[in-house]
C-alpha cells in the first residue's frame, strides 16, 4: 500500500514532464519552453531508449535546459567559469568526488574528472535529474550563499525538495545527505558545435 510519502515522491517525479525548463543562473527564474520537436525522436523510439539530439545554440552561460531521455529528465547545464570554480571548491565537501560508486550507470570515461563533463566542452554538464535517494527531481539552486533549506556557505548546486539531499554543480552529492550516490551522467557527444546527442557517443549507443 502506498503511503503519503510515496505519493509525494511520485508527484515530484512527474512534475518535470510538463515541459523543458531553462533556468537563469543568478535569479533562479524559470521560463517554460516547448521541447525542440525537430530533433525529437518518435514516442516509440524514446520508449526504446533511442538517442536524443538537442539544439543548444540558445543555451547561454549560467542557464540549464531539460530534455527527456528514456523517460527521465536530463539536464544540460552551461556552466560559467565562476560555477566551474565552485565545483573545485566543493571537492572536499562532496561524499564521492571521483564518483567511485556510481548510481545506475558508470560515468563515461571522458567524464571521469571533477567537472564530470567532456574535456573539450567542460562547461557543459549533462546529468540525469533524478535524485539517487528516492527518485525525486532536484531543483536548481545556483545562487551562492545563505537561503532557505541550505547552509550559509552554500556554493550553488541542486536541492532535492523531498528529503533535502543536495548536489554540487557537477551533480555530486554532498556529505551526510539521504542520497547515497552522485547523479548519473549518460553517454553523450557533440554532433556539432551546437548539437548535443544524449544516449550515444563515439563507441555507440548507451
**pLDDT of the residue at 49:** 75
Judged by phi (left if over 0) then psi (alpha if -120 to 50, else beta), residue 127 lies in beta
Q: Output phi, psi for 12, to 5 deg.
A: -65, -35
Could you report the per-residue pLDDT of 118-156, keeping only the tens digit for each? 999 999 999 999 999 999 999 999 999 998 889 999 999
pLDDT level of residue 99 (50, 70, 90 thresholds): very high
Q: Percentage of the chain surpassing pLDDT 70?
A: 77
Share of the chain above pLDDT 90, in %: 70
pLDDT one-digit tens code per residue, 4-19:
444 444 444 444 443 3
Query: What was the pLDDT predicted at 181?
Result: 97
Given this model, what pLDDT does residue 44 score?
54
Phi first, then psi, for residue 7 (nearest 5°) are: -65, -40
Cα distance between residue 81 and residue 60, in whole Å = 13
pLDDT at 20 over 80: no
Domains, the chain, ordered by start: 4-205 (2.102.10.10)
Band the pLDDT of 47: cuts 50, 70, 90: low
Residue 152 in grid coordinates: 550559509
Q: How many residues does the chain have?
A: 206
Mean pLDDT of the chain: 83
Q: What is the pLDDT of residue 35?
A: 39
Name the pTM for this structure. 0.79
Amino acid at each position: 500500500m502506498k503511503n503519503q510519502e510515496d505519493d509525494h515522491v511520485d508527484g515530484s517525479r512527474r512534475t518535470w514532464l510538463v515541459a523543458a525548463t531553462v533556468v537563469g543562473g543568478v535569479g533562479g527564474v524559470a521560463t517554460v519552453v516547448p521541447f525542440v520537436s525537430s530533433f525529437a525522436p518518435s514516442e516509440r523510439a524514446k520508449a526504446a531508449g533511442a538517442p536524443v539530439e538537442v539544439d543548444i545554440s540558445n543555451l547561454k552561460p549560467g542557464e540549464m535546459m531539460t530534455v527527456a531521455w528514456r523517460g527521465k529528465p536530463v539536464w544540460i547545464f552551461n556552466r560559467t567559469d565562476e560555477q566551474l570554480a565552485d565545483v573545485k571548491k566543493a571537492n572536499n565537501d562532496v561524499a564521492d568526488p571521483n564518483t567511485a560508486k556510481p548510481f545506475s550507470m558508470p560515468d563515461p570515461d571522458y567524464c571521469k574528472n571533477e567537472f564530470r563533463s567532456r574535456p573539450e566542452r567542460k562547461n557543459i554538464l549533462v546529468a540525469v535529474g533524478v535524485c539517487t535517494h528516492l527518485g525525486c527531481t532536484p531543483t536548481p539552486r545556483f545562487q551562492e550563499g545563505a537561503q532557505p533549506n541550505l547552509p550559509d556557505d552554500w556554493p550553488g548546486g541542486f536541492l532535492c525538495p523531498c528529503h533535502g539531499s543536495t548536489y554540487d554543480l557537477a551533480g555530486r552529492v554532498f556529505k551526510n545527505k539521504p542520497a547515497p550516490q552522485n547523479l548519473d551522467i549518460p553517454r553523450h557527444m557533440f554532433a556539432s558545435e551546437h548539437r548535443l546527442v544524449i544516449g550515444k557517443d563515439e563507441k555507440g549507443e548507451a
